[in-house]
Chain A
């Protein structure tokens, strides 16, 4: 049953990609390049949804892994002449190792301390790439080749979007697999009772580090793809603001589902393009600040209305509908004395 549903979701997902490209052609302010940004951000933030949603950790340094991926492929392809595919994989290995070392160190901390530690890591990385010669310092570095799979070159934004969209689909699938596993279960358990999880034999630090590493791989992959798309990268794209943007995407979309980042990124990129287009119509001579204000107001509104994120709210509604029908049927079938008191129970089952 769950396999059929997953297959159906996969097919719908594959169909949505080309549809979005068609949409971009007909909507004046939406460009294929906006779609690429959306898909890249969704991919990176899906890793953050895993880290934050399913292990209850806050990371304010996610953009650093995005940067490690970007600079790894930039240096390896432009300077050392490696193939992008190999460079991208090496970038992921480096990110994974850094995440493992960082995770081991910081997952003994919790709450504000953890947020501070990841923030410090993000800032450290930002200053590092701003100073080093090999990364091109503040000015950044160019000469990064476009992606090519054999003779098929990813030159246009449309092709790039379809490629990232496909990888995003695989990314969501992998995230789902992680959540629905012993590790995912153990992490959800840990979020509820750390002591009971440990007494069940769950090595909490190891489970958290494992998910942190997986989350970092998403950001690294997205960063590498980004570097090959824009062919020129500079530190500004990997600073604190980007980390916060990932955080907003994950939170607005919803931390309770693996689709959270996809929905969140669509919303964030969509609203930011929409405000850029719409605000000048109402405010004479509006500049960047007006858009930012409107964009911020929209985000606040969403978080007030859907405090668990948009994707979560949508899935909740769907589930409530399908399971309330089932509960009614069950109560009829079992005239058990305890049943009426528990009718509300099944609605919460995920």
Chain B
């Protein structure tokens, strides 16, 4: 079964083709990395997939649903979670509360049951706490659970973002540069944690600049340039692809001209 598939997905900003005719297929249970130079359209692609940006044309299918044009929260509720390149933690909420919001799609209790403290509300809160504590533990955040998320050191904030997405127990997890700004040691820890999650059956779509990490952890690499897919395949094959080398280093022809 295909988890996610896009068909000729495109996004124009004025005259700029940020994403152009992208056909991307994600199979379950693996890490697929999307790489490419700055401005290649990676983050735009992510924003299209999770519904933050409406596509200019093309279709997106997720878990056998045509989710093109769905609202962000509806796509998330179906089982897509993401992290953000520039952290989007909730200010004023503790680590635990941040992660509890991540589990929102599993909570089925509205304002009324909360206001009257009906049993339904109690069940939902226990569920939220259980899921949040589990995710915090997975990402080594149990110690700082009751701290304000935005007051943590940067490296831990990155992990809170990850924990929040993991708490959703998503079918597909989009990671937008989860190691940006991390030291070598911290980046290795995060890479290890992500690998552990995938080993447990999570499917990850990853945008990342740490090239050696990408090549090491990914099962498949998609290379983008100028909004288009340039290459798609196993890490070693993509690394050897002349078109990829050209996009990253520039070709001799171009230099001569």
Contacts and interface: CB of A to CB of B under 8 A. Distances in A.
B94 A182 contact: no
A49 to B, nearest CB: 14
A191 B74 CA distance: 19
Measured as residues with beta carbon below 8 angstroms from the partner, the interface class of chain B is 35 or more
A168 B189 CA distance: 52
Contact of B104 (A201, A346, A350): A201
A110 interface: no
Given A186-B104, A345-B148, A200 B76 contact: yes
Interface residues of A, number: 37
A325 B104 CA distance: 34
Given A181-B109, A345-B148, A349-B94, A199 B50 contact: yes
Interface string B167-200: 0100000000000000000000000000000000
Nearest to B97: A185
Interface of B: 50, 52, 71-74, 76-77, 81-82, 84, 88-94, 97-98, 100-102, 104-105, 107, 109-111, 114-117, 121, 124-125, 128, 146-148, 151-153, 164, 168
Top 5 A-B residue pairs of the complex, sorted by shortest distance between their CB atoms: A181-B114, A201-B105, A196-B88, A198-B72, A201-B76
Given A181-B125, A201-B105, A189 B151 contact: no
Interface stretch (A7-15, A82-90, A202-210): A202-210
Given A184-B114, A188-B93, A348-B148, 18 more contacts: A177-B116, A177-B121, A182-B124, A183-B110, A189-B90, A193-B88, A195-B84, A196-B89, A196-B90, A200-B168, A201-B73, A201-B77, A201-B168, A202-B101, A203-B73, A210-B110, A346-B147, A349-B148
A197 B101 contact: yes
A186 B74 CA distance: 15
Nearest to A190: B90
B147 A342 contact: yes
Most chain A beta-carbon neighbours within 10 Å: one of B74, B97, B100, B111 = B111
A199 B90 contact: no
A262 B72 CA distance: 38
B88 A177 contact: no
A182 B105 CA distance: 10
B104 A192 contact: no
